Amino acid sequence: MAGSYGCLVSKACLEEACRHYTASASRAAMAHVFVYGTLKRGQPNHKVLLDGTHGCAAFQGQGRTLEPYPLVIAGEHNVPWLLNLPGRGHCVAGEIYAVDERMLRFLDEFEDCPHMYQRTSVRVAVLQAGGAPWGSPGPPAAEPTLQCFVYSAATYPPEWVGLPHHHSYDSLGSHGLRYNPRENR
């Protein structure tokens, strides 16, 4: 099968893509990744999640970290960084993806893990599954949670802790710190 898959949302699309790109892929082999910055839909690096040559990625829904973390925009290229300081900052909004091992390895390379970012595990509250609010009609229930990988910074200049902490990231947000894409560097 030639070509790449677009935004993988449905179970059928996910299964077809995984059969095509990883012959032994199964749902059990998929990992959840929480993205909060330039990999989100509508952001400058989202295209790498859509490129099937990197592996399989399927949007699962909207989420937010259960614990607060400092989400800062820093460096000469205005990169979003989730500082690995649980309990400080805000609960951070983002997106949840199911990815296969191939995509996970690609994301490690893309995020320069473990040098620039570290892949760590966080609990994420699922706010919307796919495009629909999570849960059934009726009285509100506790939000479901998932254990997800996230790319965070464990080492960074100390002054970054004092930068403004954000609830969510948009490269064109009111913060005025426009992201400089890799292809422009």
Interior angle at CA 30, CA 48 and CA 104, nearest 5:
40
Catalytic annotation present for 15: no
Strand boundaries in the chain, DSSP class E: 31-35, 57-65, 71-74, 79-82, 93-99, 118-129, 132-133, 145-152
Q: Which of 15, 67, 109, 111 is catalytic?
A: 111
Mapped onto helix, strand or coil, the DSSP state of residue 184 is helix
Distance of alpha carbon 86 from alpha carbon 19, whole angstroms: 37
What is the number of other CB atoms lying within 10 angstroms of the CB of residue 88? 12
User: Is 117 in contact with 151 (CB distance < 8 Å)?
Assistant: yes
Catalytic residues: 111
